[in-house]
Structures are given as C-alpha cells and as structure tokens.
Amino acid sequence: MNVEDLPPLREALEAHGLWAKKSFGQHFLLDLNVTRKIARLAHVGEGDHVIEVGPGPGGLTRALLETGARVTTIEMDERFAPLLQEVADIAPNLTLVFGDALKADEAEIAAGQPAHVVSNLPYNVGTPLLIKWLTGPWTPRSLTLMFQREVADRITEGPGEDAYGRLAVIVQATCKAQRVMDAPARAFTPPPKVDSAVVHLTPLAERPSRERLDALQKITAAAFGQRRKMLRSSLKLMGGEELILAAGIDPQVRAEVVPVDGFLALADAWMARR
C-alpha cells in the first residue's frame, strides 16, 4: 500500500467533518513520522497479523500497512467508517471491525493464529484493555501501546519507585516491559493535557496460570489498596502475618517495596490456604 495514494489525514478529517470525541478519550496521531516510528518499534512486517484498537482516522493504520502486515482495526466510533473504508478500498490486507474492544473476541479475530497488538489506545479504556489482554484467555504475541506517560510509568517502574503499584506487578508478572518512546502532547490533535509514551510488552514464555493470575490480582488489590500500611495490616483479611511469612516476606514492609516475585509468592501462599 502507498499512503501517497490517500489524501493527507487533516484533509480527510475536514472532508468528512470529523473531530475528536472527548467522551471516547480520542486524541489523533496525524504525524506520519510519529506513526511510522511506532510501527518500527512494534517490530512487525510482512506476514504478521496486527490488531489495532481505536484507529480513529487511521494515521497509525497507514503506517502499519506500510510494513506489509495484515491489519485488523477495532473502532467503536462508526463516524470513522467512511474514512477507514477509503483506506480499506486500496489495502486488501486491512479488515475493519466496529464495536467495543472491551467486548471483542481477539481469538476469533486472529482466527487462532498469533497476532500483535499495536495501538494508540483511547485514554479512557487503555488500562482495562491492557488487563484484559494480560489476564484473559487470549495472549497476544506482543503489545506496542501508547499510553498517558503517567500510565506508562505505572507499567514499567520497579519496586521502590514512585509509580510502582498493582499495574506494574500484573504487567511484569506476565511480560517483559520496556518504555520505548516518549510523545509530547503537541504530537496529537487535539493536544491532550498530558504527555504520552509508548511501551513494548513481550509476553513471558512461562506465563502464570489463570488461577495464579486471579490470585495475584486479589492479593495486589488488597496490598496496594492500602499501600502506605504494612503488609500485615493490608493483607490481614487474607491471612495476615501467617500468609506473609509463608511467602518468605517481612510482614512489616509496605507493598511498594515488594518485588513481583514476592507478590507471586504471596499469591501461591494464598492459593495453598484455600
């Protein structure tokens, strides 16, 4: 596909009378230099299947198609159907799906084959979507995702760092996480009030079982729900000191300093007690 065959994104948006909807958390990436860099960071190419959530006007979609990948977009805002169809008309490797990505069946979309997820995620559903992909029945081959910078920090930081919390534990228990690109607010139309960043996630070869992940989510919810308290207090209802000692952890430490392996040990100890 040659994007030069299509009108510039700004012209296409004006022609269709489209604008970003605040209620959908939309901020468009119209700069092809930025979208092409994201596509490169995703390490996708000929023969790969990419699922993109929230394509909007299709800026990142165009860059992904340039790599030769087969792209399936999932868009909730059907106002973009005519604009995206213009791209699909000249790109046979593009499939358009309209609906709520939180309810989408990615395994069905991928037809049982490995697929990458690459997306400038809508701000209001980015974290729930990430948790769905990391803990649900379908595992992507990789994820390259744009988030608010604050959320990117919450994904990649480690024990003792300011943004380390429940999200970091769940992500890092299931993936190798790297922050690979920063994007200032001015890169978007309209500019959001915060800067953004791209994270690249590679699922671990040995992923925790569904049961272990469920236990991990419960343990981290309790531990970080009262993150300034010692674990013996925050986990009192889940087993308290006995549980914490069984996991080989000091009951007097706070959740923010416990490494991912420590939380997995807590999840295992809690499962053993049930």
Question: In the chain, what percentage of residues exceed pLDDT 70?
Answer: 94
pLDDT band at 239 (very low <50, low <70, confident <90, very high): very high
Q: What stretches of the chain adopt beta strand conformation (E)?
A: 28-29, 49-53, 70-75, 94-98, 116-120, 142-148, 175-183, 188-189, 196-203
- Predicted pLDDT at 25: 58
Tokens of 53: 């959530």
Report the chain's mean pLDDT, rounded to a whole number.
Answer: 91
Query: 134-190 pLDDT, tens per residue?
Result: 999 899 999 999 999 999 999 999 999 999 999 999 999 999 999 999 988 888 877
267 vs 213: CA distance, rounded Å: 8
pLDDT band at 122 (very low <50, low <70, confident <90, very high): confident
Contact in structure between 78 and 56 (CB atoms under 8 Å)? no
- Cα atoms in the Cβ-side hemisphere of radius 13 Å centred on 30: 20
Please report, to the nearest 10 degrees, the dihedral formed by the alpha carbons of residues 150, 152, 154, 158 taken in order. -130
Ranges for all domains in the chain classified under CATH 3.40.50.150: 3-203
- Predicted pLDDT at 134: 94
Q: With 70 as the cut, is the pLDDT of residue 23 above it?
A: no
- Predicted pLDDT at 4: 64
Ranges for all domains in the chain classified under CATH 1.10.8.100: 210-273
Q: With 80 as the cut, is the pLDDT of residue 203 above it?
A: yes
48 vs 214: CA distance, rounded Å: 31
Query: 48-102 pLDDT, tens per residue?
Result: 999 999 998 899 999 999 999 999 999 998 989 999 999 999 999 999 999 999 9
Query: 29-48 pLDDT, tens per residue?
Result: 888 889 999 999 999 999 99
Q: With 60 as the cut, is the pLDDT of residue 220 above it?
A: yes
Q: What is the third-level CATH fold of 210-273? A: Helicase, Ruva Protein; domain 3 (1.10.8)
Q: What is the third-level CATH fold of 3-203? A: Rossmann fold (3.40.50)
Question: In the chain, what percentage of residues exceed pLDDT 90?
Answer: 74
- Predicted pLDDT at 101: 95
- Predicted pLDDT at 9: 74
72 vs 115: CA distance, rounded Å: 10
Q: With 70 as the cut, is the pLDDT of residue 19 above it?
A: no
Alpha-helical runs (H) found in 98-249: 106-109, 126-135, 149-156, 166-174, 210-225, 231-234, 240-246
